[in-house]
A and B are shown apart, each in its own frame.
Chain A
Amino acid sequence: MKKYLTALIFGILIYSCDDVFEYSPYAIDFEDHETNLTLKNISKLSSLSVSDTLTIALTGDSHRFYDEIEDMVAKINTEYNIDFLIHTGDFTDYGIPKQYHWSNMLFSELNAPYFVVVGNHDLVSNGEDSYQEMFGDFNFSFIYSSFKFIFMNTNSREFEFNGNVPEINWLKQEIKPDDNFEKAIVVFHAPPYDGDFDPALKEEFMNTLHENDNVLFVTHGHLHSFNLSQPYSDGIPFLNTASAEKNKFVLVKIFENEFKVDVINF
């Protein structure tokens, strides 16, 4: 009897050392501090005191460039006082839970909150579940100062161009002017001129961005290299963030509905 009891206690002991066992590379088993981060970070924002100038760090396409993420976070923490950081997607390389865990481990060292829009790499295998578990909904928005930040999934190819990604009707609702914000900043991963964006929705998407003439700029990733241009020559600036791989990040300062862009090397 004693023998069985010892075995049972030993078994329970081993079983409780959850971290040392892996059941599958696809088993999603995040700890509490790794879940529901979008809402948690939005609530952090509401406790910040808003100054006249917003300072936002932008990065994206960090894939497996973990050391670069670490260097970037250290640089931001020591030299810049940012309101928050925006990650324009491809937070992971293969969309596996371990990569979500590692990227978050490094980004959570930031002194400021951070927000991640979903990238195509984040959706491979059961990445869809991991993203939702760690961050929450693919499409979300929040208002900070007099700006509305709208994050949306534009990875149409990952959803087999089913006509529902991006969700234009959702964007239409979100971008509709109201008393709480003056300008909108739209964040997504794949830009509309890319082959991974549903070609059937491209025009409607751009029309929606124009509908209320209230978009300050849009920012996206997917292409890895920094770029600031107006691909449609229509007054909407497109800001392509730099991948951490390039040892660069983008610093945006927004003041009285104007914005200034700096590329910072680290």
Chain B
Amino acid sequence: MLLIFKHITLLKRSFIAFIISVIFALIPLNSLGKEPNSNWLKTFYPNHYKVQFAGGIGFLSAGFGYDFFNNRVDLSYFYGYVPQWHSEEDLHSVSLQISGKPFKLDLTHKVKYYPLNIGIFIHHTFGEEYYLTLPDHYPEDYYWWYPGRTGGLFIEGQLNYRYKKPDQNFSEIGFYYRIVTRGVYLTSKFSNSSIPLEDIFSLGLGIVIYY
């Protein structure tokens, strides 16, 4: 019973986080009736919002995040959902990812291309069977991994298009594609030549809107 309760609260937490990000997205700063600069809330406003298809973190994922160092470092938080028709049961999860964008090409004054972004992510699936600490019916250290937490790496390309003046809200949109692998797949491949290389990689596609 306690576990079910824990499961629900975890799920709630992810929903709340997601809903908060949507609210942030829907209220333009001006409508708060204050100058954006004087609004302390502005610091906490996400710099971007993302929607992603596949990429190992959900059938569809929605997220928000922050950009640092002149858009060279991206920190994003996703809520991901896998509907039942792609699995035995619905899957809810959250993931946190950080990526670096070492290369930037200014194709025109409106179009930028980041050809090789590199990122890492951790991914938590909600549910009693995806635990983060070993349940009580196991002796200590019985299993050395926790199914609730997985992680991996990705490389990514991203094309940005600015369709409004930079000082306006939602002035820039980007499309990205990424190749993803997970730690458990990588280690399997490293120690086994019998695993086909293409089996450890998968693809993700996404849209990002800059606030």
Residues of A near any B CB (own CB < 8 A): 14, 20-29, 64-67, 69-70, 94-96, 98-99, 102, 106, 124-126, 129-130, 133, 157, 160-161, 195
B56 at the interface (CB under 8 A from A): yes
Q: Given A24-B80, A25-B182, A94-B145 in contact, is the A102-B188 Cβ separation under 8 Å?
A: yes
What residues of chain A lie closer than 8 Å to B180, measured between beta carbons? 22
In contact, B82 and A27 (Cβ under 8 angstroms): yes
Q: Which among A21, A99, A102 is the interface contact of B54 at CB below 8 angstroms?
A: A21
Q: Find out whether the CB atom of A23 lies under 8 angstroms from the CB atom of B194.
A: no
- Asked if B125 and A26 sit within 8 Å, CB to CB, the answer is yes
Interface residues of B (CB under 8 A from A): 53-59, 80, 82, 86-89, 91, 93, 123, 125, 129-130, 135, 137-139, 143, 145, 147, 150, 180, 182, 184-185, 187-188, 191-195, 199, 202-205
Find out whether the CB atom of B192 lies under 8 angstroms from the CB atom of A67.
yes
- Chain B residues with Cβ under 8 A from A160's Cβ? 135, 137
CB distance from B192 to the nearest CB of A (A): 4
Q: Please, how many angstroms separate the alpha-carbon atoms of A105 and B50 in the complex?
A: 36
A195, closest chain B residue (CB): B139
Chain B residues with Cβ under 8 A from A27's Cβ? 59, 82, 86-87, 91
Besides the known contacts A23-B80, A67-B191, 19 further A-B residue pairs in the complex with CB atoms under 8 A apart? A21-B202, A22-B202, A23-B58, A23-B82, A24-B59, A25-B123, A26-B147, A27-B82, A27-B91, A66-B192, A66-B195, A67-B192, A94-B145, A95-B147, A102-B188, A102-B195, A124-B129, A126-B89, A126-B130
Residues of B within 8 A of A21 (CB): 53-55, 202-204
The 3 closest A-B pairs by CB, nearest first: A125-B147, A21-B54, A22-B202
By the criterion CB–CB under 8 Å, are A133 and B195 in contact?
no
Contacts of B93 in A (CB 8 A): 24
Report whether A98 and B185 are in contact in the complex, using a CB–CB cutoff of 8 Å: yes
CB distance from B128 to the nearest CB of A (A): 10
Q: Which residue of A lies closest to B137 (CB)?
A: A160
Residues of B within 8 A of A70 (CB): 194
- Which residues of chain A come closer than 8 Å to B123, judged between CB atoms? 25
A226 CA / B211 CA spacing, docked (Å): 63
Q: Of A14, A24, A64, which one neighbours B191 at CB under 8 angstroms?
A: A64
Known: A67-B192, A102-B195, A124-B147. A23 touches B137 (CB 8 A): no
**For B54, what are the chain A residues with a Cβ–Cβ distance below 8 Å?**
21-23
Whether A23 contacts B56 by the Cβ 8 Å rule is: yes
Q: Which residues of A contact B188 (CB under 8 A)?
A: 64, 66, 99, 102
Determine the chain B residues whose CB is within 8 A of the CB of A102 once the complex forms: 188, 195, 199
Residue contact A96 to B184, C-beta cutoff 8 Å: yes
Q: Are B87 and A28 in contact (CB under 8 A)?
A: yes
Task: Name A126's closest neighbour in chain B (CB-CB).
Answer: B129
CB pair B195–A129 under 8 Å, yes or no, is: no
B89: chain A residues within 8 A (beta carbon): 126, 129
Contact with B150, one of A23, A25, A157 (Cβ below 8 angstroms): A25
The docked-state distance in angstroms from the alpha carbon of A124 to that of B123 is: 17
Which A residues are in CB contact (< 8 Å) with B137?
A: 157, 160-161
Query: Chain B residues with Cβ under 8 A from A130's Cβ?
Result: 88
Question: With A69-B194, A157-B138 given, is the CB distance from A94 to B184 under 8 Å?
Answer: yes
- Contact (Cβ within 8 A) A20 B91: no
Q: In the complex, what distance in Å separates the CA atom of A146 from the CA atom of B202?
A: 48
Residues of chain B within 8 A (CB-CB) of A124 are 129, 143, 147
Cβ-closest chain B residue relative to A132 = B88
Which of A20, A66, A95, A125 is in CB contact (< 8 Å) with B202?
A20
Most buried by A among B55, B135, B203, B205: B203
A60 to B192, CA, bound (A): 18
B56 proximity list for chain A (CB < 8 A): 22-25
Residues of B within 8 A of A64 (CB): 187-188, 191-192
Residues of chain A within 8 A (CB-CB) of B125 are 24-26
Residues of B within 8 A of A26 (CB): 87, 91, 125, 130, 147
Distance in Å: Cβ of B42 to nearest Cβ of chain A: 35
